[in-house]
Structure formats: C-alpha cells, structure tokens
Structure 1
Amino acid sequence: MKVQGKMFLWLALFILIMAIVYGLWSKEPAGTTALFLGFGLSVMIGYYLAFTARRVDQLAQDNKEADVADEAGEVGFFAPHSWQPLALGIGGALGFMGVIFGWWLLYFSAPLLLIGLWGWVFEFYHGANRTQ
C-alpha cells in the first residue's frame, strides 16, 4: 500500500501543477475548480493509503524481492449465473435517462432498481428465516 500512496501523492502534485497552469492560461473557473478538487481528492486518497500502510502488514508489492505468486489466492466469490446485474443496469440506464428526458421515466426505473438490488443482495441467502 506504500506504493499506491506514493502514486496518488505524485498524481496530486501533477494535478496541482496542471490546475495552476490551466487556471492561469485559460482563466476559466469551472475547469480550474474541478482540477483543484481533483488535487484535493488525490491528496486525501494518497494520505489515507500512506497512513494505513504503516498499520498493516507488508504486502508483496511493497517487497522488492517478492514474486508474482506471493499475492496469489482467492479474490472472492462471484455469482456465475446472475440476472440481477442486468436488471440493475437497465434500471440505472432508465433512471439516468429520466434525468435527461423526463422524471416520469423514474416510475419505470425505480421498480427495476429495487427488484435487481433485492435479488442481488438475497440471491444466495439460505438462512433459517428465509421467505419463499
């Protein structure tokens, strides 16, 4: 995590330089503000990663003598045949189109989003209080 912290702090320095150059050159306030906000966000992430790196064990990426296989292992469990992301994607697309074309589209997107989210959260729930 030390590597990521340093990368974000170097990125913050680059964004700060670009924000100053862009602000002086273009005299456009919206883009300059966005670049300064990007600088602040990058500093926050870099500081968090650098601060957290001192509190956790050393990872393989922090060791110069490490092999690629040192970080190998299980990443997590992913549902192989789930239709819920499709419902969430369609519901999200309709929701964003509702912002553009008209708020009435949210009446169609909200049920799709709720059904997709509910299905994805409880897809593998097999507890004692399971509803059928």
Structure 2
Amino acid sequence: MFAWLSVFMLIAAVVYGVWSKEPAGTTALFMAFALSIMIGFYLVFTARRVDTGAQDNKQADVADDAGELGFFSPHSWQPLTLAFGGAIAFLSIAIGWWLAFFALPFIVLGIFGWVFEYYRGADQNQ
C-alpha cells in the first residue's frame, strides 16, 4: 500500500511542481513521497524477517497462536518524566525560550532513565 502511495505522491509532486511552480507545496509533496517510501521499505524489510503467524493461516486454531509474544515492561515512570520535559519545552515556544533550559534536565533524565531502565551492569545478575 505504501509503495503505491509513494508512486502516487511522486507523480503528484512532479505534476504539481511543474504546473504550479510553487516551492512550498512541491517540497511538501516530495517529503510525503520520502516518508511513504521509508514506511514502505520498513514494512517490506520487517515482513521478510518475520515468519508468518497463525493469524495468517485460515485453517489455524486458537491454540496455534499460544505462547510468548515478547517482553512488555510492567511499569515505567520514565515516559512521564520525558512527557513533562517535552511539555515544558513546547510551552517555551509560547512563553519564552528561557523556559527550555528548565525542560532540558527533565528531557535528559527521562531519556537516560528510559534507555538504561533494565541495565544492571555487566557483572551483576538480574
């Protein structure tokens, strides 16, 4: 679907660019083309690496899809910290850029905490 969408976006961008000679809309259409290519490439690349599941087989039973689906974090406070820092950062656009300096520690702390949330060290057992 995204491959066909990218073909359409490319054609629309070229036709719009030649016909209107307006740089902002032409750039936006070329960016939409690039984004749809990226999403389509990711989906094709992922589909080649992942095996077909039981949901793809019409004769499959419910029990065929049983088993572990992956690891899902039970709880985490880091997204809340990052969201608070992001909210202050976006609020700094309206109030004043000086407010971004107060948002930066929350953003750094949220990203650092989220990345190393389950890291226990190389020599420690989990």
The interval holding the TM-score normalised by the smaller chain is: 0.5 to 0.7
1:113 counterpart residue number: 107
Aligned residues, how many? 122
- Judged with a 3 Å threshold, the aligned counterparts in structure 2 of structure 1 residues 29 and 119 are, in CA distance, closer, same or farther, namely same
1:79 aligns with 2:74: yes
What TM-score, normalized to structure 2? 0.65
**Of the candidates 26, 30, 35, which is equivalent to residue 32 of structure 1?**
26
User: For the Cα contact (< 8 Å) 1:60–1:67, is it kept in 2?
Assistant: no
Question: Percent of counterpart pairs with the same letter?
Answer: 50
1:42 counterpart residue number: 36
- Judged with a 3 Å threshold, the aligned counterparts in structure 2 of structure 1 residues 17 and 87 are, in CA distance, closer, same or farther, namely same
Per-residue CA deviation, residues 83-117 of structure 1 (Å, 9 max, x unaligned), is 22111101011112324432211221011112222
**Of the candidates 10, 13, 22, which is equivalent to residue 4 of structure 2?**
10
- Judged with a 3 Å threshold, the aligned counterparts in structure 2 of structure 1 residues 108 and 32 are, in CA distance, closer, same or farther, namely same
Per-residue CA deviation, residues 14-50 of structure 1 (Å, 9 max, x unaligned), is 3234435544665532122111121133234434544
| Structure 2: gaps spanning 5 or more residues | none
- Judged with a 3 Å threshold, the aligned counterparts in structure 2 of structure 1 residues 16 and 67 are, in CA distance, closer, same or farther, namely farther
CA distance in 2, matches of 1:17, 1:68: 44
Please give the root-mean-square deviation of Cα atoms over the aligned residues, in Å. 3.6
Query: More relative contact order in 1 or in 2 (CA 8 Å, sep 6+)?
Result: 1
